Amino acid sequence: MSTKNNVLQALNSLKDGEFLSGEELASSCSVSRTAIWKAIKSLQDDGYKIEAVTNRGYRILSVPDKLDSKIISSKLTDNGNFGLQVFTFDSIDSTNSEAKRRAVEVGAFRDAAGNLTEKGKAAHLSVFAAESQTGGKGRLGRTFVSTKDCGVYFSLLYSPRGGVKNPALYTAAAAVAVVRAVSKLYGEDSSIKWVNDVFLGGKKICGILVEGIANFETGCIDAAVVGIGINILKNPVLEGEITKIAGSIEEAKSLNGEKMPNISKNGLIAEVVQNLIEFYGAFENSDEKIKSEMIQEYRARSMLTGKSVSVNPVAGTNGESYKAVVKDIDEEMRLVVQTESGEIRKLSSGEVSLHSYDFV
């Protein structure tokens, strides 16, 4: 074990209020005082806040909030018993892209009988999380800003028995999974903007992008890649018009005059993923009770119901923007709107705006 790790282990073993002197550390690690000083400096560079007091020594005040696959895994229950795996990265182009690369390596997730193949078992229920993304992706080719230390960015690779029947349902479940986690861990009631954004304090704190892995032989969607980005702390990189839309949990808490609770990124990811596994398992096993509860919660959290909106068809499709009032969200997660002429329409795609700018 390196001197740095020995020092960290020794400091972690201290009780509250206790210190370890440089001399004691040097003796226990069998190194010089200079080596101890270098180890302390290296730990501080890694994000550890270490207090040094003359004639007393050192103690750790706080540890860095770094992603740790072992910690995330320890908090998760693998209901499918397929060896749920967690992969973490300091930086990556996109966790969704990494999940899709792994999916390509799998080939067929399931055999003709619908059972997971050996490679399918290894990839199903895999989580990919990164400290930052250089090419974070949003809907319709947009960029999701993924700055280090400001949020969590992760993807779940999931291959349900029988394939993905309703992608919108998987997206909606992801939104509810985030809402529940934010409520449980941060004590904040957030809302959902159809179909894939979570808002808190009037601003978007989370974006969701669900992509399908198609099996061209069967014509089915074999697996879903569920990408989630949650803004925890205020992002200093964001400026200009985007700040009217993008926010963070920290900013919402400060609006209420509240302090941020000490929630680790590992804990937040694990809480969201555990919710996802419960929902997706319910879809796969035809558990109508859990499915219905998820849909009802999504509806209750909808920030659009009853509002007048502008409906903008997806780029590349026919149709012009029009005004409408949001009436409901149906069982297929379609947005039910009533146009100015009184016509009822059910939208399975497109974007809606509440103001002069789009929530994206």
Q: What is the DSSP string of 274-299?
A: HHHHHHHHHHHTT-HHHHHHHHHHHH
Residue 360 has pLDDT above 70, yes or no: no
Give me the residue spans of the domains in the chain.
3-62, 69-301, 308-353
Q: What angle do CA 264, 64, 182 make, to 5 degrees?
A: 15
* Architecture in CATH for domain 69-301: 2-Layer Sandwich (3.30)
Query: What is residue 357's predicted lDDT score, i.e. its pLDDT?
Result: 37
User: Do 263 and 65 form a contact (C-beta atoms < 8 A)?
Assistant: no
The reported pTM is 0.83
The listed range with the strongest mean pLDDT (159-163, 164-168, 171-175, 331-335) is 171-175
How confident is the model over 59-65, as a mean pLDDT?
Answer: 87
Q: Decide the pairing of beta strands 85-92 and 126-133.
A: parallel
Residue 140 has pLDDT above 70, yes or no: no
The reported pLDDT for the residue numbered 133 is 92
Summary mean pLDDT of the chain: 89
What three-state secondary structure class fits 87?
strand
Q: Which residue has the tokens 């003796």?
A: 27
Q: How far is the C-alpha of 250 from the C-alpha of 235, rounded, in Å?
A: 10
Confidence of residue 359 (pLDDT cuts 50, 70, 90): very low
β-sheet bridge partners, residue 329:
335
Q: Looking at domain 3-62, which of 1.10.10.10, 1.10.1500.10, 1.10.3720.10, 3.40.50.2000 is its CATH number?
A: 1.10.10.10
Q: Check whether 307 has a pLDDT greater than 90.
A: yes
Burial 30-50 (b: 16+ CB within 10 A, else e): ebeeebbeebbeebeeeebeb
Helices (H), 163-312: 167-186, 249-255, 265-284, 288-301
CATH class for the domain made up of 308-353: mainly beta
- At 12-31, the pLDDT tens digits run 889 888 999 999 999 999 99
Q: What is the band of 237 on the pLDDT scale with cuts at 50, 70, 90?
A: confident
Half-sphere exposure of residue 333: CA atoms within 13 angstroms, side-chain side: 25
Q: Please name the residues in contact with 347: beta carbons below 8 A apart, sequence gap of 6 or more.
A: 311, 334, 335, 336, 337
Is 313's pLDDT higher than 70? yes
